[in-house]
Amino acid sequence: MSITTLAAARTHLGQRHNKTGEETFLSFEKFPYTGLSKTYCVDRQVADSACSATAYLCGIKANEATIGVTAAVKLSDCAAMSNKSYHVHSVAHLSQLQGKRTGLVTTTRVTHASPSGVYAHTANRDWEADTDIELAGNDPKKCIDIAQQLIHGETGQKLNVIFGGGRYNFLPNNVTDEDNKPGWRSDNRNLIKEWEQLKNNTKHKYINDLNSLKNLSTDTEYVLGIFDNSHMAYNLDRDVKRKPSLSEMTTKAIEILSQEKKGFFLFVEGGRIDHAHHDTLARKALDETIEFHKAIEAAINMTNSDETLIVVTSDHAHTMTLNGYPSRGNKILDIGGKGDDKLPYTTLSYANGPSAVNGSRPNITTHNLEDPDYKYPSFVMLDSETHGGEDVGIFASGPWAHLFTGVTEQHVIPHILSYASRIGNYTNRLDYSSSNKHVNSLLLTLFLIVIGFFQKYYLVY
């Protein structure tokens, strides 16, 4: 969700409502405080979602493709990842220690890189199931897979809400799921049933479709909602009668988590923005961003900004550009102008990706740009478009949101979250709210005195 993605998505949103589009705002763009996040990893200029999730959830920078561990753990180092002294814990874990409810919502697999930052400790983001570890030539009994960590791990087992996709990582490869698709595990374990057994003495529910989500009681203590075999479908491809939207999952998560008087922590990811960009599917990337905007809008409407801090940011950027000199109100997903070769180009294009061409550019006036699966042009041919390394936005509203300003190292974000919610190292911090009121009153008094002084001076003069 780069700055370019935001600019293009807000324009697309406005144009859906018959406006020129450029003047439109996404819900979180109206937040009172904004900043920039520096996203690099310890060993990479351009981050992946594993090291970046570790940064903005656990408070340290890590190596590429590692999650919830320090930089002492190199990629695929099973022995190092098993060393608990190298583990780092997320804001969710620290919230749990203070009796808060916790949850995660994503449109990707719940074992994917970003949501895994909430609960996992691994040397390889791809080790989502035991089969992945075996195929990498390692022992899954020594390197615990991410799905198993979600169900049995110190943080994962205490999550009150888990919504997303990725069912196959929890099921044996000799069974099929509710969508008649096979599992992936080689250890013959059904982690969904194991989760249910662990929650036997609580009010819990496993759900797998939209109807079950809608009917889920808000007094449920624990819910595991796995809605697809792998990633959830893009919103433009979604079966709206069977599969929930990101905003529907977010709404239900807040309803359940807010039952706890001590408060809650919720991670919400519009993860398929990233996937659409990797395939240069600009239309789907913008639509997924708009779905994310709707989810944040739902959260805003359900919470009180006096007591709830909402922070919106990105793992990293992408290489999509918004370029040329198209007229005001020109469709953002359409042709933006012509090159010196007299051939048209799209307003949106990518620096690299699977849609580059060898030789002369095609005449895209014959292409169906309305097709959701149209791959927008890229310059350098790659199987998958890469991330971008520029800073990404931070948008904040609520208590202590003013700390999210300026250019910030990405790993500072969870320290501010911890400070604001009095968890981790900040559990016993002083509460400055009352003293702030005195300071504000003092400043106001001084301001009035100064104004009075100048008024008097002016009248005497």
| Binding site listing for Zn(2+) | 274, 278, 315-316, 387
The bridge status of strand 161-165 relative to strand 222-226 is: parallel
From the candidates 27, 37, 49, 314, give the one annotated as an active-site residue: 49
349 as an active site residue: the answer is no
Distance CA 285, CA 274 (A): 7
- Smallest Cα–Cα separation from 419: which of 282, 311, 300, 302? 311
Token pair recorded at residue 142: 């020594």
- Binding residues, by number, are 112, 114, 269, 274, 278, 315-316, 387
- Binding residues for Mg(2+), by number, are 112, 114, 269
Token pair recorded at residue 434: 């009352």
Token pair recorded at residue 274: 């990233």
What is the DSSP track for 306-347? TT--EEEE-S-EE-EEE-S-PPTT--TTSEEEE-TTS-EEES
Residue 343's contacts (CB-CB under 8 Å, 6 or more residues apart) are: 360, 361, 362, 363, 364
Helix, strand, coil shares, percent, the chain, to 5: 35, 20, 45
Sign of CA dihedral 409, 393, 50, 310: positive
Token pair recorded at residue 22: 């450029």
Residues labelled catalytic: 49
